[in-house]
Amino acid sequence: MGDVITRFAPSPTGDLHVGGARTALFCWALARRCGGRFLLRIEDTDQARSTEGATRGILESLAWLGLDWDEGPELDLSKQTVWGTGALTDVTLGGDPRGVGPFFQARRLDRYNEAIEELIERDLAYPAFESPEELEAKRKAAQARKETYRYDRAALAIPRAERLARMRGGEPHVVRFRMPDEAIVVRDEVLGEVRVEADQLDDFVLRKRDGYPTYHMACVVDDEGMGVTHVLRGQEHLINTPRHVALQRALGYRTPVYAHLPIICNPDGSKMSKRDKDKTLKGHIRSLGAGADHLGAIAEAGGVSVEELEHWLGDKRAQLSPEALAKMAIDLGIVLPEINVRDFARSGYLPEVLCNYLALLGWNPGLKDEEGRDVERFGMDFLREHFSLERLGKKASRFDREKLLAFNGETLQRMPVDHFLSAWRRWLGVAIENRRFVHDFSLWRRLWEELKEDARGLALARAAQPRTKIFLDAIEHVRFALVDDDAVVFDEKAIRKVLHKGEPSGLEILRQVRDLIEGIDPFEPEAIEGAIRAWCEERGLKMGKAAQPLRVAITGTTVSPGLGETLALVGKKGVSARIDRCLLACDPGNNGGD
RNA sequence: GGCCCCAUCGUCUAGUCAGGUCAGGACGCCAGGUUUUCAUCCUGGAAACCGGGGUUCGAAUCCCCGUGGGGUCACCA
């Protein structure tokens, strides 16, 4: 099995989304499992939509996930930090050890043209001269008759010598493949045999008017030239496969093993796509029932004109740039659904956890642990060892963020605290660099500064880790420790519940405990908790009687990390200051109570 | 609409290929418990074989029909 070669072949028209990431993961896992090669090829034959930035983004996404490719475009990971918590560092990925590159299709045009010439020569392909507009009109007409349009081979009515002459003479044209008049049966590792009748497939285009090959042509030529043995791709490609098989036969190529992966959907069952960010944001803005000036403010936040914004709002299909969407979401204080790998990195998911979860969408190891539970949690090494095509599922699956979140939280919470700290630091460093959190930037900056100090960082990590599911929300658990003593906002409900009620009241307890604080040494979590517990026991009080008033005084709310950690993070001086301020502000007798 | 694919708890799934265990697990949900709040953690619970026909002693599992969902119908990939 050493000769297995898989490939992931994205088109660089946007960020890598989770569906693509799962395909890449499976391609990678199969190659690793079989001791074969995993190669990466960039399908940039759409001149209008391909961008260099997208290519880099995809390479970085894959590297972040920990999917190293043996052949393909090079990416030097020693020179850059890839989004802070990436799985691979200090290696150069890609290269061309077998000499089968280049791995950008736009640089391989001569190969496609050679194959196309051969097909034309053998009359298995032919030039066609209809304009896109003509074809569109025919399509519309067919639609009006409630028929499915298929190319009518009008170009074949032109005598062969003439159409070749017109082509050589430079007349604008496309080249079409003469689809054989027979049903084609595709063997698929997931779906079994799929039969497609001849009348379902028309003479598809091999080379576009601009001289670039279509996906079909480039893909078939390259898979052959690069020795690809296994093609794993989304099920949306299933109908393309008979075309590819027909082309392979015409050119005398091998047919690789195919495995079509089920689609990944949104929780509502619709296909997952970038458009969902637009959808989420549109829905939110509409729900605000925003007036004209409000819309103006939103448009400004997104860096777009009000006209653009209104048009976008009115058109279901309209999309705004990722940057504009992100800015508006921050401004409105909402979180857009994570769709791209980059989104998950930014939210603070761990790459190996994402891979773990993604692997479970459409694949299952079919193993039980000692307690008879399904094996669900595993790392990359497990996939290297156990991945197999036989256990791929057929059913489209829905992307369940709750489960991913649970997996991520569990992983984060089980890490050694120093490991958690360094991962948090790396993630935060990138977040700060990207100015992702402009709505609260100074606080993030402050956290960043404090996290850099080892002792302080560790204390913050100890407080945040047990409550953190993704790094994005970690800061909320230690927010109180980052604000100034006189900036604490006391929550009305908390004041009433734990400071005013009870006998003795919370305020009374605070007054008494205040002196205790001075004497605690060292001012560290265990000592603090020990002192307060002993103090409570002496008085026959439950721990909560003292803990909750202290929480309110220190954080303004009834929720915080462990009491010792909470006080220790603020420091002895800070604690005293906050208690004093709380006594002053919350005592009804002091007229500052409300 | 044509064609193709799919169908087990709310979600991801094990069990289906080689018919025979109260249909198992995970996330979520609900109820208790531990705990100084929250988060954890522990215990328990509700929750599914899409429907109808066959084949069979026996069907989640095999066959047919229906229904539902998805994909696809480009000079995008």
Query: Would you name the residues of A annotated as active-site residues?
Result: 274
A459/A97 Cα distance (integer angstroms): 48
With vertex at residue A457, the alpha carbon angle to CA A455 and CA A460, rounded to the nearest 5 degrees, is: 110
3-class SS at A231? strand
- Look at residue A83 and give its three-state secondary structure: coil
The whole-angstrom separation of Cα A78 and Cα A93 is 10
CB of A388 lies under 7 Å from some atom of strand B: no
| pLDDT tens for each residue of chain A, 594 residues long | 459 999 999 999 999 999 999 999 999 999 999 999 999 999 999 999 999 999 999 999 999 999 999 999 999 988 766 676 677 877 899 999 999 989 999 999 999 999 999 999 999 999 999 999 999 999 999 988 888 899 999 999 999 999 999 999 999 999 999 999 999 999 999 999 999 999 999 999 999 999 999 999 999 999 999 999 999 999 999 999 999 999 999 999 999 999 999 999 887 777 777 777 888 888 888 888 767 778 888 999 899 999 999 888 887 778 888 888 888 888 887 878 899 999 999 999 999 999 999 999 999 999 999 888 999 999 999 999 999 999 999 999 999 999 999 999 999 999 999 999 999 999 999 888 887 666 788 899 999 999 999 999 999 999 999 999 999 999 999 999 999 999 999 998 888 888 787 777 888 889 888 888 888 888 999 999 999 999 988 888 889 889 999 999 999 999 999 999 999 999 999 999 999 998 888 777 665 444
pTM above 0.95, yes or no: no
Phi-psi region of A260 (alpha: psi -120 to 50; beta: other; left: phi over 0): beta
Going by their DSSP bridges, the two strands A257-261 and A230-234 should be labelled as: parallel
Instruction: Return the DSSP state at A82.
Output: -
Strand B-proximal residues of A, range 532-561, CB below 7 A, are 542-544, 547-548, 551, 558-561
Residues 471-490 of A with CB within 7 A of strand B: none
Q: What's the CA A567/C1' B45 distance, rounded, in angstroms?
A: 39
Q: What is the DSSP letter of A36?
A: -
Q: A431: which strand partners?
A: none
Please determine, looking at this structure, whether the domain spanning A108-262 carries the CATH number 3.30.9.10.
Answer: no
Q: Which nucleotide lies closest to A130 by the C1' atom and the CA atom?
A: B75
User: Which A residues between 119 and 148 have a beta carbon under 7 A from any strand B atom?
Assistant: 130-132, 135, 139, 146, 148
A362 C-beta less than 7 Å away from strand B = yes
* A337 Cα distance to chain centroid: 9
Q: How far is the CA of A399 from the C1' of B49 (A)?
A: 22
Q: Residue A278 and residue A320: Cα distance in Å, rounded?
A: 7
Q: Which residue has the tokens 């990971």?
A: A77
ipTM topping 0.85: yes
Q: Is the CB of A394 under 7 A from strand B?
A: yes
Q: The domain A485-590: what is its CATH number?
A: 1.10.10.350
